[in-house]
């Protein structure tokens, strides 16, 4: 039997409402933060910070820096952001009786989709950019696409907009269709790409910069994208000697504290430090379509900076899922919680290989 003090239905309802509200506000803020960065640095709109700066809330001496057109665009942005928050609050109100375990599964599915789409995107972009770079080095690309297109594909901006971004969107479309992926395949591709370098270097005395770029591109994706998946399956190594001996309640409280005060804030630090300015570590490479300094390498270095966005976003959503699940274990304990907290996470076991498959919709 699970020993716990029963809570009144009113208390459970309030806790459920608070968790729903917090999760909705975090997701909405995450979405709007990413959209706002694109509008500010990509489209030149003032954004939230620009509006506050215009009215002198940070430095009165710099107030009034926007013209009438920019100010109107800024107010439209603020109205749109406010409307999105109202929609989120309305959704929370409608779903106020939605079980926390189901909320956790829904958040887990969102995190899985983010990673799954990124998985297909890096697979397609890596192959396409590698082929373009190889044909360009060997002198075949001009014969296939013409001299004008050859020159255009040598420009990072053109290759980004014409090749990378369409394949990025295609990756997320494919992710809607194929809902199960195995990171073992990406691991295999990394090994094969490295094996190809060894064979061509030592057997044929041939090696080009794009070959090493492909290995780094896929390996970085494997390392960062699999983090949320590993969290789902309790795969991260716990460097403590106390957790294993905790009771069910203490384990749940530990997971809640870690998600709320360590995990989620860390994700926000990555996003704000990386995207908080035009020259920051994530925004800067994207604005300039940064590439490696090696001649005729792959043009994907700026996308590797974007891997941090996928990592932070997917981990944040997964921490929210983890938070909802562990609160559910406190307010509505079930016998299976004992085994789940030991590392066997039943809600995400799908098929015969739960260790290799990242689910879209966790089984219940």
Q: What does the pLDDT look like over 137-150, one tens digit per residue?
A: 988 999 999 999 99
Residue 338 pLDDT: 64
pLDDT for residue 357 is more than 60:
no
Under 8 Å between Cβ of 106 and 347: no
> Closest by alpha carbon to 226, among 167, 184, 179, 178?
184
Number of domains in the chain: 2
Residue 98 has pLDDT above 50, yes or no: yes
DSSP symbol at 151: H
The predicted model gives 11-21 an average pLDDT of 92
Which residues are CB-contacts of 102 (< 8 A; sequence separation ≥ 6)? 364
Considering the domain architecture, whether residues 124 and 181 belong to the same structural domain is answered as yes
- Do 146 and 89 lie in one domain? The reply is no
- Spell out the residues 6+ positions from residue 117 whose beta carbon is closer than 8 angstroms to its own: 171, 172, 174, 175
Q: Which of 70, 98, 126 is the last residue of a domain?
A: 98
Phi and psi angles of residue 361, each rounded to the nearest 5 degrees, phi first: -125, 100
Domain match, 107 and 151 both: yes
Residue 22 CA, distance from chain mean position: 19
Give the range of the structural domain holding residue 164, as residue numbers without chain letter.
99-358
**Residue that is last in its domain, among 98, 124, 157:** 98
Contacts of 338 (CB under 8 A, 6+ apart): 2, 248
Q: Are 134 and 210 in contact (CB under 8 A)?
A: yes
Residue 349 corresponds to which tokens in the numbers above? 């076991």
Look at residue 229 and give its three-state secondary structure. helix
Tokens 């770079």 locate to 133
Same domain, 152 and 277: yes
Residue 106 is predicted with a pLDDT of: 94
Q: According to the model, what pLDDT value does residue 341 have?
A: 58
Is it the case that residue 360 has pLDDT exceeding 50? no
Within-domain flag for 314: yes
Average pLDDT, stretch 256-279? 94
Q: Is the pLDDT of residue 63 over 60?
A: yes
DSSP 281: T
> Does residue 131 sit in the same domain as residue 87?
no
Tally of residues, the chain: 364
Supply the pLDDT for residue 337.
66
User: CB–CB of 321/107 below 8 Å?
Assistant: yes
Which of these three, 73, 98, 123, is where a domain ends? 98
For residue 343, tell me if it sits in a domain: yes
pLDDT, tens digit (0-9, with 9 covering 90-100), for 154-194: 999 999 999 999 999 999 999 999 887 767 788 898 999 99
- pLDDT, residue 234, reads 64
- For helices 165-177 and 100-138, the axis angle rounded to 10 degrees is 140
Q: What is the pLDDT of residue 58?
A: 74
Query: Do 273 and 318 belong to one domain?
Result: yes
Q: Do residue 15 and residue 134 come from a single domain?
A: no
302 domain residue, yes or no: yes
Residue 210 near residue 130, CB atoms below 8 Å:
yes
Q: What is the pLDDT of residue 60?
A: 73
| Residue 165 shares a structural domain with residue 308 | yes
What is the model's pLDDT at position 243? 79
Q: Are residues 278 and 291 in the same domain?
A: yes
Say whether 234 sits in a helix, a strand or coil. coil
pLDDT of 256 above 90: yes
SS3 call for 182: strand
Which is higher by pLDDT, 275 or 351? 275
Q: Which two tokens stand for residue 266?
A: 């860390």
Tens of pLDDT, residue by residue over 310-350, are: 999 999 999 999 999 999 999 988 776 666 655 544 443 33
Q: Give the tens place of pLDDT for each residue, 64-86.
A: 778 888 899 899 999 999 999 99
Q: Which residue has the higher pLDDT, 284 or 207?
A: 284
**Same domain, yes or no: 182 and 60:** no
Domain presence at residue 250: yes
- The percentage of residues in the chain with a pLDDT greater than 70, rounded to a whole number, is 87
Task: Kindly state whether residue 134 falls inside one of the protein's structural domains.
Answer: yes
CB-CB contact of 114 with 105 (8 Å): no
pLDDT digits (tens, 9 = 90+) for 301-311: 999 999 999 99
Judge whether 363 lies within some domain: no
Predicted local confidence at residue 9, as pLDDT:
82
Are 88 and 229 part of one and the same domain? no
Residue 364 within any structural domain of the chain = no
Question: Is residue 232 located within the same domain as residue 112?
Answer: yes
How far apart, in whole angstroms, are the C-alpha atoms of residue 187 and residue 197? 16
């Amino acid at each position: 039997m699970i020993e716990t003090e029963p809570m009144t239905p009113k208390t459970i309802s309030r806790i459920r409402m608070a968790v729903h509200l917090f999760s909705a506000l975090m997701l909405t803020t995450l979405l709007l933060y990413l959209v706002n960065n694109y509008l500010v640095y990509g489209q030149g709109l003032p954004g939230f910070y620009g509006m506050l700066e215009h009215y002198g809330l940070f430095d009165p001496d710099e107030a009034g820096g926007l013209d009438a057109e920019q100010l109107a665009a800024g107010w439209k942005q603020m109205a749109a952001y406010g409307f999105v928050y109202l929609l989120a609050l309305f959704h929370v109100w409608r779903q106020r009786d939605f079980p926390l375990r189901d909320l956790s599964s829904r958040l887990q599915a969102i995190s899985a989709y983010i990673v799954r789409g990124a998985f297909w995107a890096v697979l397609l972009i890596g192959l396409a950019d590698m082929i373009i770079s190889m044909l360009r080095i060997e002198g075949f690309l001009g014969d296939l696409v013409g001299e004008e297109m050859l020159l255009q594909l040598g420009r990072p901006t053109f290759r980004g907009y014409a090749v990378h971004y369409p394949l990025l969107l295609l990756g997320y479309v494919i992710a809607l269709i194929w809902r199960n992926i195995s990171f073992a395949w990406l691991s295999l591709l990394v090994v094969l790409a490295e094996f190809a370098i060894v064979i061509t270097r030592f057997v044929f005395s041939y090696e080009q910069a794009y070959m090493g770029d492909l290995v780094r591109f896929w390996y970085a994706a494997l390392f960062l994208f699999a983090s949320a998946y590993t969290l789902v399956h309790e795969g991260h190594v716990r460097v403590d000697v106390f957790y294993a001996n905790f009771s069910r309640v203490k384990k749940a409280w530990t997971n809640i504290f870690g998600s709320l005060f360590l995990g989620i804030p860390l994700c926000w630090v990555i996003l704000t430090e990386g995207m908080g300015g035009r020259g920051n570590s994530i925004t800067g490479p994207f604005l300039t379509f940064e590439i490696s300094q090696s001649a005729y390498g792959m043009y994907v270095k700026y996308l590797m900076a974007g891997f941090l966005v996928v990592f932070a976003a997917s981990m944040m959503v997964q921490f929210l899922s983890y938070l909802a699940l562990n609160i559910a274990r406190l307010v509505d304990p079930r016998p299976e919680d004992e085994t789940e907290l030991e590392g066997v996470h039943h809600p995400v076991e799908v098929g015969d290989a739960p260790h290799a498959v990242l689910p879209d919709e966790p089984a219940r």
